[in-house]
Structure formats: structure tokens, C-alpha cells
Amino acid sequence: MKSFKHWYFQEVEETFGVIKVDELEKLSNWMMGDVNDIEDKKKAAVEKLRVNLLKYVNYWSEAEVGYYFLSPLLMLVEVQQEGYRGFWKRPLSIKKEEETASGIIDFMIARGTQLPKSPYFFINEFKPKSDGLVFNFSF
């Protein structure tokens, strides 16, 4: 068993059939949804988060990115619903035949109320870097 941090993308693709994609049609459609669907207050709040992220991302720690940007954004999109919610700093593993990858992920949206099951989406890392914020995530 190897921790997530010891896997190369190619190994993940070949072993688990998980591929990295640049764009997901459903996510893009949701992100570009009809602007009338979003309340004006929410649009203003998301814009403020975006501006603050661009302004401060190079100065924030990983914890501060979660506190000042991700948490408020997730509250605005109401990620906690009946039967699924967001989970922070939880173990996650994937097993296929003889190979297992595991680790503590930063954030995931998964079924479950107290214990995460069947993640829909997860962020393995979000770290500030000199050229911007780096997110490693999967669906």
C-alpha cells in the first residue's frame, strides 16, 4: 500500500483507470449556469471571494485558503444536503486487485452524514505557490 503522495499520475491511470481531465462537461455547465438561477447576494459574495483569493492567495497558508476561501464558497453553494456533505481531513483509499492507494485528503463531497462513503469529488491538496494556488482534485 502506498500513500497518495507516492503515486505518479501515470501509475494511477494504469492501475486504477482514473484519468486526469482538464474539463468536465457537467461541472462546466453547472458553473456557467443561467445567471438568473443565482441570487444577487450570492453572486456578490462569490465575486468578493474571487477578488480576495486573487489578492491574498500568495500570502495565505493552506489552512487560511480553506478558512478564507473554500469554506465560505462551500457554504454559498450549500454543499451539505440530505444524504451527502463535505468532509475535511478524512482518510480515503482505493483498491484494485493487489494495489491500494490511501491517504488523508483535504476535502471531499461524499454520501454519508457522519462517515464519508462513495466520494463524488475530492481535493487532495490545495497549496499556495508563488505563481498562484495549486489544487489537485478528482471526480
pLDDT tens-place string over residues 56-77: 988 888 888 888 988 898 888 7
Q: Which residues of the chain have pLDDT under 50?
A: 35, 133-139
pLDDT value for 42: 83
Number of H helices, E strands in the chain: 5, 5
Question: Can you read off the three cell numbers belonging to residue 35?
Answer: 445567471
Q: Of all residues in the chain, what percent carry a pLDDT higher than 90? A: 4
Most distant CA pair in the chain: distance in Å? Answer: 51
Give the number of residues written for the chain. Answer: 139
pLDDT value for 38: 62
Model confidence, pTM: 0.57
Question: If you search the block for the grid coordinates 451539505, which residue do you land on?
Answer: 80
